[in-house]
Amino acid sequence: MMESLQSSLHFLVSGFAALTWQQAVMIAVGCLLLYLGIAKDYEPLLLLPIGFGAVLVNLPLTGLMEEDGLLRFFYNTGVLTEVFPCLIFVGIGAMTDFRPLLTRPSILLLGAAGQFGIFLTIILALGLGMTQLDAVAVGVIGACDGPTAIYVTSQYAPHLLGPVSVAAYSYMSLVPLVQPPIMRALTTEKERKIVMKITKEKVSQTVCIIFPIAVTIVTCLIAPKGAPLMGMIMLGNLMRESGVVARLVGAAENEIPNVVTLLLGLSIGATMQADKFLNTTTLLVLGLGLLAIMLDTVMGVMFGKLMCFVTKGQVNPLIGAAGISAYPMAARVAQVQGQRYNKRNYLLMHAMGANTGGQVGSVMAAGIMLSIIQGLGLG
Amino acid sequence: MDNVKFGVIMTTLGMGGTLFSLWLLTLVMSALKKAFPERPETPAGGAGKEAGK
C-alpha cells in the first residue's frame, strides 16, 4: 500500500523533477508573449495562441509535440502542408479593398520598393554565415507578412519557423515605433508637408472584378511557385468584389481566419521548444528580422522620394513607408506623420494604396524567391 | 553554389523581378481602367426601378 502511494506521489511530482532551466526560460518567454498580447494589445490574435503554445510545449512529459501529440498533429496538418497560411490569405483577400490602388496604379511600385529590405537582409545573413535557405527564411521576415514568412520558412527552413514567425508577427505590431524615426531621418520638412491631391475618380465594378483574375494570371505566369499565396489572396478578393457569394465572403472574413489563426498560432508556439529555440541563431534571426523591416522602410521612403522628384513634388515620400505588407498599420503611420507636419494633409487614401500594393508586392517577392530557388536547383 | 553568387543572383533577380512584375501590373490596371471606365448611373433607370417597387 505504502509503495503504491509512494510511486503515485512520485509520478505526480515527476513534472517538476523533469523541468529544465531552459524549459523554464521558454515558459517565461511564452508568458511574455501572452503579456504583450493581452496587456499591450500587440497582435493579440496571434501572440495569445503562440504564447500559450510555447508554454504548453515546454511543460515536461506532456508529449504534445511527439509523433502522436495534439500540437504535432496541428503542425503536421496545417503548417508542414502550408494549408494554414494559404487559408489565411483567402481571408486577407476578402478583407482587402484594392480601390485606392486601382485609383492610382503607379503607387503599386512603392509596394515593390518596400520589399527590397528582404533581399538586402539575405545578403547580410549570408555574410554572417547563415546557409542560403536559412538566409532566405530570415530575409522574408522583411515581407512584414506573417503567412508569407511561415509559408516560405516551412518549405525551406522549418527549424527556424518559431523565431521567424514570432519575429514576423511581433515586428509587424512594432511598425508604429520602428518606422517614424526612419521616415523623419530620410525626408526634409518640406517633403513631409507635401499635400497629395485627393482623386475623385471612381473605379468601375468590372475593373474590381477583373483585377484579381488578371493579377493571378500575370503573377503566376512570372512566378509559378507563388501561385498558392497569390491565388488564395486573389480568390478571396474576387469573392468580395463579385458580390454573389456573400456567405463565402462572410466565412472568409470570419470563421476561416478565426479557426486557422488559432491553430496556426498554437502550432507556431509549439515550435518554440527549449532545445530548439534557445540558441544564438534565434537571436540572429530576431536581429536580422528587425533590420529587414527597417531596410524595407528605408527603401520605400527612398523610392517615394524618387517618385516625388519624377512627379515634380506631387507625391509625398512618407507614403513610401507604407509600401510594406503590414496592413493597415503602415498606412496609418504615414497618415499620422503627414498630419504632424501639415494639419491639412490627408495621406491615408494614398498610403492605403501603397499598403495594399505592399501586400501584393510581398507575395510577389516571395513567389519570385521561391521560383529562383527552384531555378537554382536548391528547392 | 557559393554564397556570393547566390546573394548576387537573389538580390538582382529578386529586386528586379519584383519591380518588373509590379510595373507590369500597373500597366494591366491602367489598361483595365481604360477598357472599363466608370459610367455615371442613369437617373431614368433608377427611377424606373423605384417606380416598379
Q: Give me the residue from A109, A122, A207 closest to B10, CB to CB.
A: A122
Q: Quick one: pLDDT at residue A296?
A: 94
Task: Using the predicted structure, report yes or no on whether residue B52 has a pLDDT greater than 60.
Answer: no
Asked if A232 and A93 touch (Cβ cutoff 8 Å), the reply is yes
Which chain B residues are closer than 8 Å to A116 by Cβ?
Answer: 15, 18
pLDDT tens digits, residue range A307-359? 999 999 999 999 999 998 888 889 999 999 999 998 888 899 999 999 999 99
Task: Using the predicted structure, report yes or no on whether residue B53 has a pLDDT greater than 50.
Answer: no
Q: Quick one: pLDDT at residue B41?
A: 67
Asked if A87 and A233 touch (Cβ cutoff 8 Å), the reply is no
Q: Give me the residue from A109, A201, A207 closest to B32, CB to CB.
A: A207
Mean pLDDT (whole number) for A187-215: 92
Query: Between chains, do A105 and B17 touch, taking CB under 8 Å as contact?
Result: no
Pick from A226, A173, A254, A239: nearest CA to A360: A226
Q: Quick one: pLDDT at residue B51?
A: 41
Which chain A residues are closer than 8 Å to B4 by Cβ?
Answer: 126
Q: A26: which residues sit within 8 A by CB, 6+ positions away?
A: A54, A58, A272, A273, A274, A277, A278
Mean pLDDT (whole number) for B43-51: 48
Mean pLDDT (whole number) for A57-74: 93
Q: How confident is the model at residue B42 (pLDDT cuts 50, 70, 90)?
A: low
Kindly state the percentage of chain A with pLDDT values over 70.
100
Q: Quick one: pLDDT at residue A46?
A: 85
ipTM: 0.86
Q: Give me the residue from A101, A105, A372 closest to B13, CB to CB.
A: A372
Nearest chain A Cα distance for residue B6, angstroms: 7
pLDDT tens digits, residue range A130-183? 999 999 999 999 888 888 999 999 989 999 988 998 888 878 778 888 999 999
Look at the block and give the residue holding cell 499598403: A355
Query: Between chains, do B21 and A376 touch, taking CB under 8 Å as contact?
Result: no
Instruction: Estimate the share of chain B in helix, then strand, then coil, as percent rounded to the nearest 5.
Output: 80, 0, 20
pLDDT tens digits, residue range A18-54? 899 999 999 999 999 999 999 988 888 888 999 999 9
Which chain B residues are closer than 8 Å to A204 by Cβ?
Answer: 33, 36-39
Residue, of A49 and B39, whose pLDDT is higher = A49
pLDDT tens digits, residue range A228-246? 999 999 999 999 999 999 9
- B contact test, residue of A123, A237, A373 with most B CBs within 10 A: A123
- B contact test, residue of A205, A372, A378 with most B CBs within 10 A: A372
Q: Does A100 touch chain B (CB under 8 A)?
A: no
Q: Quick one: pLDDT at residue B43?
A: 61
